Amino acid sequence: MNARPSTTISPVIAPPVIADAAALAEFLAVARRAGRTIGLVPTMGALHAGHVSLVDAARRDCDCVVVTIFVNPAQFGPNEDFSRYPRDLDADLQRLASHGVDAVFAPTTESMYGPRHATYVEVAGPAVPWEGEFRPGHFRGVATIVLKLFNLVSPDRAYFGRKDFQQALVIQQMVADLDVPVEIVVCPIVREPDGLALSSRNFYLSADERRRALAISQSLQLAKELVAAGTTDAAVVRRQMLDLLAKAELQVEYVALADPQTLAPVEVIDRLSVAAIAARVGATRLIDNELLGPEA
């Protein structure tokens, strides 16, 4: 096995790092032969407590927990932050220490996308609005890498955060449509004490931006309160959310109130709905969401 213990991390608690697919297959074959169930937590690194909550959920459900760390070029647009996306494997391993991770799979870009790579997974349906509109090709890249990781790991369960609400729907759609034998587990959003949803991209924020970014979770909270207090007109709720975001001088990409299965816009919030926001705070694009309505 291609273990690479960092010199700065105790090998006793840091998970072993596997860099190549053959070594991963060998590791997994041993686990499979022992009858162990496998939980996969796919990440792009820059790990925070949100990721750790996925690991902890996998640890509770599965015998063997595999975390993948791979900044997937295919899901970034040409003008997005692929090159400056935070990468610090040692910090990530430190973050995972003592959380019972059995292996970290951290492949190279070249090993995941060879020079003749020509196959992509295209999801329509829930992938079309929201991020699909503002990040063309994003979900194609996400679906492709996630399917590759599913094929490399053959997990019994895979864990995704509800912060990327649409992503979780897209993965579920792909898994159902392609008959992928995996259970998708979607875990709650983890927030800072003041409400900001944890995101690797929060690292980009200046102190001022960090303060203004709060308007995102606050406007979702406002929507929740309005609906809980009896407002059912989605246009009214949306208007108040936009006002709050405008006050913080955020550049809104979308504020949506929608059916949580199809993402079709709702006009009357009389059943479970999702409120979702994408907005730029300076150069940093953030997303967040909350469930609203009767069963939320």
264/256 Cα distance (integer angstroms):
9
What are the backbone dihedrals phi and psi of residue 231, each rounded to the nearest 5 degrees, phi first?
A: -70, 130
Residues 208-237 that bind a second copy (CB under 8 A): none
Provide the 10 A C-beta neighbour count for residue 102. 20
Q: What is the token pair recorded at 63?
A: 């015998």
Candidate residues 34, 110, 181, 295; the one interacting with a second copy per rule CB under 8 A: 181
Residue 181 or 230: the one with the smaller Cβ distance to a second copy is 181
The candidate with the shortest Cα–Cα distance to 173, out of 126, 103, 241, is: 126
**51 catalytically annotated:** yes
Q: Decide whether 40 or 123 has the Cβ nearer to a second copy.
A: 123
* Sign (positive or negative) of CA dihedral 116, 121, 127, 128: positive
Identify residues 18-77 at the interface with a second copy (CB under 8 A).
Answer: 21, 25
* 183 near a second copy (CB under 8 A): no
Beta-carbon contacts of 272 under 8 Å, excluding residues fewer than 6 positions away, are 260, 291, 292, 293, 294, 295, 296
> CB under 8 A: which stretch of 173-181, 195-203, 213-221, 222-230 binds a second copy?
173-181
Find the shortest distance in angstroms from Cβ 199 to a second copy.
27
Please give the full DSSP string across 231-251, using - where no structure is assigned: --BHHHHHHHHHHHHHHTT-E
Is the CB of 127 or the CB of 278 nearer to a second copy?
Answer: 127
3-state SS, residue 146: helix
- Residue 158 in the binding site for a second copy (CB under 8 A): no
Q: Are 199 and 84 in contact (CB under 8 A)?
A: no
Which range of residues in 6-14, 56-64, 121-129, 265-273 is near a second copy by CB under 8 A?
Answer: 121-129
Q: Binding a second copy by CB under 8 A: which of 98, 108, 151, 206? A: 151
Among 7, 79, 83, 119, binds a second copy (CB under 8 A): 119
Q: Is 227 helix (H, G, I), strand (E, B) or coil?
A: helix
The answer to whether residue 120 forms part of the interface with a second copy (CB under 8 A) is yes
What are the catalytic residues? 51
Q: Which residues bind a second copy (CB under 8 A)?
A: 21, 25, 114, 116-127, 143-144, 147-148, 151-152, 154, 173-174, 176-181
